[in-house]
Structure 1
Amino acid sequence: MIDATEALTNAAIGLVVSWCLTWAWLGFNPIQSAGITAVFFLASFTRAWIIRAWFRGRG
Structure 2
Amino acid sequence: MKIIDIEVYIVGFHKTDNNEWETSGATYGNQIDAQAAMNELSKETPQQLKLFKFGRAVPL
| Normalised TM-score (structure 2) | 0.32
Identify the structure with bigger relative contact order (alpha carbons < 8 Å, sequence gap 6+). 2
| Normalised TM-score (structure 1) | 0.32
